[in-house]
Amino acid sequence: MTSSAVPAPKKVVLAYSGGLDTSIILKWLQTEYNAEVITFTADLGQGEELAPAREKALKMGIKPENIFIDDLREEFVRDFVFPMFRANTVYEGQYLLGTSIARPLIAKRQIEIARMVGADAVCHGATGKGNDQVRFELGYYALEPDIHVIAPWREWEFKSREALLDFAEKHQIPISKDKRGEAPFSVDANLLHSSSEGKVLEDPAVEAPEFVHQRTISPEDAPDTPTVFTMGFEKGDAVSIDGVALSPAELLTKLNQLGHDNGVGRLDLVENRFVGMKSRGVYETPGGTILLAAHRGIESITLDRGAMHLKDELAVKYAHLIYNGFWFSPEREMLQAAIDHSQAKVSGTVRVKLYKGNVSIIGRESPNSLYDQDLVTFEEGVQAYDHRDAAGFIKLNALRLRVLGKRDARDNG
């Protein structure tokens, strides 16, 4: 374990976006720690070009071999988003965990790079009040227990936004004009979602302004006619749209477009952070919102009741683990083992209708269907089910309640 007297880190892998804040951090690592900085920039589908990040890093003196830019979109959807959606999990009844699920992958890749380049530290740009610092650092520590973690926002002495900008100016870090003034809110984005929080969103009594939304048009602006399509599933994962097989990232990208165009996936929420306070955020998860509904749809005909009800119980705890940053924990892996076990036959096709913010499942089909028309029909003839069995079923389910009713009548009599 690290002690208070550990030697200063010499090589640091920084999660680097190329933006102002992580550029300041980069410079601060160079000046404060005198450390060799390795930048790592991930394409998680946040929708920004990554080429500028390389240029900026070079300009700030990072050696070309110390610049890592990775397209992690397929890994992100395949190994993180899809396993999570198998669980139908939502945090506090509503949030689809779009930010939470990206952090463990970034942490994992940073550690992999640290091993490749022989770095002894990692650094992230998450603030000291949020959940992301926890998610990054639990990932780092789980994967590399003795790594040195640098969290500049908890460490440095800058007392204000002004002080930060002064430091940037002093070190020739370019500041775009819109950063000079206060940004009206802060954003995180990846292929699963965009989140916005802070500033104009801080009063939960006030409606979120339209301009904070980035990934969806408003339901009001969406077309007046529905969009209908089919989604194919195999073993719990979506694999095709309208019969066209797609890779995980391609599929989520396509769902995002469909969701965006139909105003699907907006959420305005006050949530409870792991670090203890409530915060208000606006989330846009267009593709994920569709995926959740469609996955529930295919499960509804292919998953046994016992499995479904157990999943529903486990999903609450699962959400807490993801939200709190415990992706790389034995208990998350145990839950995943249970959930994945349930998905072996969750294959088939779902018809989805999008209309001005609504997602409706309007049809489900599967060769593995457990839905048996003979069992539910009001018609007779096929003797699949003996009504009289229900009498015994009820009698024995009632037995303890009857004994109880008699006891309580006796006591109160």
Which residues does the annotation mark as catalytic? 21, 103, 132, 186
Would the CA dihedral through 238, 239, 243, 247 be positive or negative?
Answer: positive
Six-digit token string for 247: 């890779």
DSSP state of 79: I
Q: Which of helix, strand or coil describes residue 254?
A: helix
Could you tell me the smallest distance in angstroms from the CB atom of residue 196 to a copy of itself?
Answer: 13
Contact at 8 Å (CB) between 80 and 248?
A: no
Q: What is the footprint of a copy of itself within residues 21-40 (CB under 8 A)?
A: none
Could you tell me the smallest distance in angstroms from the CB atom of residue 69 to a copy of itself?
Answer: 27
Would the CA dihedral through 286, 291, 296, 300 be positive or negative?
Answer: positive
Has 296 been labeled as part of a binding site?
no
Q: Does 296 bind a copy of itself (CB under 8 A)?
A: yes
Per-residue contact string for residues 165-184; x = within reach of a copy of itself by CB under 8 A: --------------------
Element (H, E) at 239: strand 237-241
Positions of E strands within 82-218: 121-123, 148-150, 186-189, 194-197
Which of 65, 177, 411, 413 contacts a copy of itself by CB under 8 A? 411
Which of 49, 159, 178, 181 contacts a copy of itself by CB under 8 A? 159
Q: Is the CB of 48 or the CB of 340 nearer to a copy of itself?
A: 340
Residue with the two structure tokens 């037995």? 399
Q: Is the CB of 44 or the CB of 321 nearer to a copy of itself?
A: 321
Q: What is the footprint of a copy of itself within residues 303-332 (CB under 8 A)?
A: 304-313, 316-317, 320, 325-326, 328-331
Q: Give the closest residue to 188 by CA, choosing from 212, 224, 154, 223.
A: 212
Q: What is the footprint of a copy of itself within residues 358-397 (CB under 8 A)?
A: 358, 360-365, 367-373, 375-378, 380, 383-397
Q: Is the CB of 39 or the CB of 133 nearer to a copy of itself?
A: 133
Per-residue contact string for residues 2-21; x = within reach of a copy of itself by CB under 8 A: -xxx----------------
Has 389 been labeled as part of a binding site?
no
Q: What is the footprint of a copy of itself within residues 115-134 (CB under 8 A)?
A: 127-129, 133-134
Taking the C-alpha atoms of residue 33 and residue 27, their distance in angstroms, rounded to an integer, is: 10
Q: What is the footprint of a copy of itself within residues 223-282 (CB under 8 A)?
A: 224, 226, 266, 268-272, 275-280
Which of 43, 75, 120, 137 contacts a copy of itself by CB under 8 A? 137
* 9, 30, 153, 163 from 34: Cα distances, Å: 9, 5, 18, 21
Q: Is the CB of 28 or the CB of 39 nearer to a copy of itself?
A: 28
Q: Is the CB of 63 or the CB of 407 nearer to a copy of itself?
A: 407
Q: What is the footprint of a copy of itself within residues 73-92 (CB under 8 A)?
A: 88, 92
Taking the C-alpha atoms of residue 282 and residue 411, their distance in angstroms, rounded to an integer, is: 55
Has 8 been labeled as part of a binding site?
no
Q: Name the amino acid, one letter, at 357.
A: G
Has 132 been labeled as part of a binding site?
yes
Could you tell me the smallest distance in angstroms from the CB atom of residue 112 to a copy of itself?
Answer: 14
For every residue of 351-403, DSSP letters joined together read EEEEETTEEEEEEEE-TT----HHHH-S--SS--S-HHHHHHHHHHHHHHHHH
Q: Name the amino acid, one letter, at 86.
A: R
Residue numbering of the annotated binding site for L-citrulline: 95, 100, 131, 135, 186, 195, 271, 283
Residue numbering of the annotated binding site for L-aspartate: 127, 131-132
